[in-house]
Amino acid sequence: MTANGIPEKLAFRRKEVTQLVKLDGRVLDFWENEFCAFAPTINQAGEKFYSRQDLDTIMQIKQWLIVERIDKARVRELLADKRRVTSEPPPPAEPPPPPTPVAGEGEVLGKIRTGLEEILTMLGDREKM
C-alpha cells in the first residue's frame, strides 16, 4: 500500500473504489457525468473498472467538494487546470551531441548510400512494369 492507503494496483473494481473513497456508487456516477474528469472502463459483463489516475481524481474531487467545500463550478475550473498542466508536453530535450567520426567511417557511409540509391533505382524500375 502507498502512503495514502491506496493498494499498488493499476485497476480497481467499482466496489473497491467505493470502499477506498468511502462514497456511494451513485455519487461516483454523478461525478463522472458532472465533471467528465474520469472515465472508468466497462468490461463485457458491465463491470466498471477505475484506473489509478481515476481514483486520484475522485479523491481530489472529494477533497474539494466535501472537505474544502468548494462549489462545483470552481471544481470544474480546477480540474480543467489540472488537465491542462498534465497534458502539456515536456520541454524538448537537448539533442544529443553528434557522434565523433571514426577513421574510414565516411567511406563506409558513402558505400551504404550508393547501395541504397541503387536499390531505390531498381525498385523504381520494377514499379514501372
| Domain spanning 11-87: CATH 1.20.1560.10 | no
pLDDT at 97 over 90: no
Whether 90 has a pLDDT exceeding 70, the answer reads: no
The pLDDT tens digits for 6-21 are: 788 889 999 999 999 9
List the 11-13 sheet strands across, edge first. Answer: 11-13, 48-51, 41-42
Q: How far apart are CA 27 and CA 30, in angstroms?
A: 5
For residue 29, pLDDT beyond 90: yes
Per residue in 104-117, pLDDT tens?
677 888 888 888 88
| R_g (Cα) of the chain, nearest Å | 27
Per-residue pLDDT of 53-89, as tens digits, reads 999 999 999 999 999 999 999 999 999 988 887 666 6
Gap between the Cα atoms of 103 and 112, Å rounded: 16
Residue 65 DSSP symbol: I
Cell of 83: 488537465
How high is the pLDDT of residue 109? 84
Q: How far apart are CA 77 and CA 103, in angstroms?
A: 60
CA dihedral 61, 63, 66, 71 (to 10 degrees): -60
